Amino acid sequence: MSEYLLRMEDISKIYPNGVVANKNINFRLKKGEIHALLGENGAGKSTLMKILFGMEKPSSGKIFLNNEELEMNSSKDAIAKGIGMVHQHFTLIDSFTVAQNVTLGIEPKKGFFVNEEEAIKFTKELSDKYKLYIDPKAITGTLPVGLKQKIEILKALARGAKILILDEPTAVLTPQETEQLFAELINLKNQGHTIIFISHKIREVKEISDRITILRNGCQVGEFLTNEVTEQEISNKIVGWKIDSKVEKKELKEGEVRIRVKNLSYTSKDKSPILKDLSFIVRAGTIFGIAGVQGNGQTELVEILTKTRNIQNGTIEINGVDIRNLNIKTLRDLGYSYIPEDRMLKGVASNASVSENLISDEYDSPKLCKKSILRKGEISKLAKSLVKQYSIKCSGIEAKVGSLSGGNIQKIVVARECKNIPKVLIAEQPTRGVDIGAANIIHRELVKLRDEGCAILLVSADLSELMKLCDRLAVMYEGEIVAYFDDLSQVTESELGLCMLGAKKHAPEQIGRMLYE
């Protein structure tokens, strides 16, 4: 009898357009282990897990569970075999209670109606059994991200999952929420569950996993005991070359004020406060970070800064000019660039080519356009140069952006927004969902811009990223700035996490230091 609970043998996936997503991969799971699956964007992780979860059919290869060959035609088949998946982007209904979300589709009935009391009882017993404590009567939309993730895990367990696939489970969690999640995963492991942990955070993989499988370019690099490989070795195996994640910044030389936010407030349609009297400045040659758990006003702040949401109260100046009545084109003319959080919605035209996306901010500039006719030679030359500089993996500059991996799409956005050395850059979650190699390229480019005098506002939930890159850092909680650090050498991720949860706040005098002149 095999020592493995699950075996995926010689799995290959070739799409009709000829793209090879997986090539002869052998993935093995032992019962009761936490197994990390690592690789760059486009390495084949998502495809492999979609095959395991019944969302994709392999071109060749077999899957065995308890030595029994599986034939899965849908996610329903995978769920029936005890396989559950928690996606990076939650699939919850915010207006439902926790119990309603957990039991959706498997609701206990009382005659023709849903038995709400039984659903609440079932959810409470399930959460107690697995120590995933949560109020089954709570409205989902009012809960923080960490608790919403618990609901997703409970949903899978409620449907009998013994193997759990977790896709980037800590992407938007604070250190405290991550610590809590790890305690819950270890408890699940101790109760006999098996967990596949997909992540780009190598430090966390070292902490939580028992074994690691690494993929690169659709192929399997190897399978390793976690305690027998270092973080550096893991990084090198993921990208295929020795990676140096350290970022060298030049000595801080602050220039003029490039961004000035003064007494900015914003309320929702029902008059609930979203932003509360925000004031801060960002100077040339600095990276000013804003940390915070998702949903604490950062999105609204960026939308106002990028003119997709109107200013209600307060003022914002870019390079000394009030932006209230400006359009995006005028902002661009002021030397303004923006890396959006949602690259597919706001960052690229997925049906357009790589080259078209790379020049979309300046297609009418004299160097790329003459007498209303695009200069294709110059466009091709620029696009090829950026593809090389940013290591963008594509079949050519005419490839459709929608066919690329998430990390390569993000590099296209960053390349476009940084190529002309802007005076002001708003970078919103610039490395979310990208692999260590792509993140390293993006980090170096941001620091290069800072060293060349750009004023960068970096909004991120990744504390290690903020601490590595920022010169100054503010923390937002419930729409206001609750902490400010002008010396990050003395700050820990744990301290920042407490501020992000509202458990620690700075005195007004400390926060007021953001407005130094």
Tens of pLDDT, residues 65-99: 999 999 889 999 999 999 999 988 788 999 999 99
pLDDT value of residue 486: 92
Q: What are the φ/ψ torsions at residue 190 (nearest 5 degrees)? A: -65, -20
- Give the pairing type, strands 369-370 and 313-318: unpaired
Q: Is the dihedral of CA 392, 398, 403, 406 positive or negative?
A: positive
- SS (HEC) of 331-369: HHHCCEEEECCCHHHHHCCCCCEHHHHHCCCCCCCCCCE
CA distance 208 to 213: 14
- Give the pairing type, strands 194-198 and 34-39: parallel
Residues of the chain with confidence (pLDDT) below 50: 1
Largest CA distance in the chain: 74
pLDDT value of residue 517: 60
| Ranges of each domain in the chain | 6-239, 244-335+422-517, 347-419
Q: 112: left (phi > 0), else alpha (psi -120 to 50), else beta?
A: alpha
Are the C-beta atoms of 156 and 84 separated by less than 8 Å?
A: yes
- Give the pairing type, strands 6-14 and 60-65: antiparallel
DSSP letters of 59-118?
SEEEEEETTEEE--SSHHHHHHTTEEEE-SS----TTSBHHHHHTTTS--EETTEE-HHH
Please tell me the number of Cα atoms within 13 Å of 505 on its side-chain side. 11
Homologous superfamily (CATH) for 6-239: P-loop containing nucleotide triphosphate hydrolases (3.40.50.300)
pLDDT value of residue 288: 98
Q: pLDDT per residue over 354-381, tens digit each?
A: 999 999 988 888 888 887 888 888 899 9
Residue 330 corresponds to which amino acid?
T
CATH class of the domain at 244-335+422-517? alpha beta
Q: Which residues of 321-333 are buried (b: 16+ CB within 10 A; e: fewer)?
A: eebeebeeeebbe
Q: Is the pTM of this model over 0.75?
A: yes
pLDDT value of residue 355: 94
Would you say the CATH fold of 244-335+422-517 matches that of 6-239? yes
Among candidate residues 203, 110, 118, the one with its CA nearest the CA of residue 158: 118
| Complete edge-to-edge strand list for the sheet that includes strand 211-216 | 83-86, 163-167, 194-198, 34-39, 211-216, 219-225
- SS (HEC) of 393-424: CCCCCCCEHHHCCHHHHHHHHHHHHHCCCCCE
Are the C-beta atoms of 248 and 237 separated by less than 8 Å?
A: no
CA distance 263 to 301: 12
Q: Which residues of 236-255 are buried (b: 16+ CB within 10 A; e: fewer)?
A: ebbbeeeeebeeeeeeeeee
Residue 85 corresponds to which amino acid?
M
Are the C-beta atoms of 279 and 266 separated by less than 8 Å?
A: no
Token pair recorded at residue 409: 């799409």
CA dist list (Å): 384 to 217, 284, 356: 22, 30, 12
- SS (HEC) of 59-71: CEEEEEECCEEEC
Q: Please count the residues of the chain.
A: 517
pLDDT value of residue 206: 96
